[in-house]
């Protein structure tokens, strides 16, 4: 028979072997997790690199200046627009009249927009033909719609306001 001390050493060896197997399995799972996280970090760093490159392209001052000129009607700030908090009126006080606006600098010409159909500046006169059907004729001066489109107000002034200005005011 095996002495008691031999059984004890055998049990101890089995326990240590089982513990080593468990620790080895845990280490392998941690290494797999570490490799997965490193791949994810590398992918995120590459995505960040691409986003930084896109941001530097989108945020170029020359591109932003062109977009601002194309889509915004901004003018330089007048120093008279800056006030101190002490200069602001209390609620209920009447504000002093604002100073006249500064002369607006002319902006760079805007790119040509696609042609827009516009009504003639002067309405066409309708004359009756012999058959009783109305026949459109040219307004006085013999100008047609193509020529009146050239006389149309610039795009900076809305057509309704331009038409009122030509007619001498609201009717």
**pLDDT tens, residue by residue, 48-106:** 999 999 999 999 999 998 998 899 888 888 887 888 888 788 888 877 777 776 666 56
Q: How far apart are CA 155 and CA 113, in angstroms?
A: 9
For residue 78, what pLDDT is reported? 83
Tell me: the pLDDT tens digits for 1-47?
Answer: 678 889 999 999 999 999 999 999 999 999 999 999 999 999 999 99
Query: Residues 6 or more apart from 27 whose CB is under 8 A from it?
Result: none
Tokens of 75: 């003018």
Neighbours of 124 (CB within 10 A): 14
- Residue 124 above 70 pLDDT? no
- Count of C-beta atoms within a 10 Å radius of residue 78: 10
Sequence ranges of the domains in the chain: 8-70
User: Where does the pLDDT of residue 150 fall: very low under 50, low under 70, confident under 90, or very high at 90 and above?
Assistant: very low
pLDDT at 165 over 80: no
For residue 1, the model assigns a pLDDT of: 61
pLDDT at 40: 97
**What does the buried/exposed string (b/e) look like for 84-112 if buried means 16 or more CB atoms within 10 Å of the residue's CB?**
eeeeeeeeeeeeeeeeeeeeeeeeeeeee
Q: How confident is the model at residue 148 (pLDDT cuts 50, 70, 90)?
A: very low
């Amino acid at each position: 028979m095996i002495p008691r001390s031999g059984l004890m050493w055998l049990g101890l060896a089995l326990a240590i072997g089982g513990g080593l197997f468990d620790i080895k399995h845990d280490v392998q799972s941690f290494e797999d997790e570490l490799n997965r996280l490193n791949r994810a970090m590398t992918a995120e760093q590459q995505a960040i690199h691409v986003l930084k490159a896109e941001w530097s392209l989108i945020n170029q001052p020359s591109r932003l200046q062109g977009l601002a000129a194309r889509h915004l009607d901004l003018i330089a700030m007048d120093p008279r627009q800056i006030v101190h908090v002490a200069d602001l009126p209390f609620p209920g006080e009447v504000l002093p009249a604002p100073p006249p606006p500064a002369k607006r600098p002319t902006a760079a010409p805007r790119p040509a927009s696609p042609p827009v159909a516009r009504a003639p500046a002067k309405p066409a006169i309708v004359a009756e033909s012999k058959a009783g059907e109305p026949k459109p004729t040219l307004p006085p001066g013999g100008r047609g719609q193509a020529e009146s489109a050239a006389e149309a107000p610039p795009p900076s002034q809305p057509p309704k306001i331009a038409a009122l200005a030509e007619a001498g005011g609201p009717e």
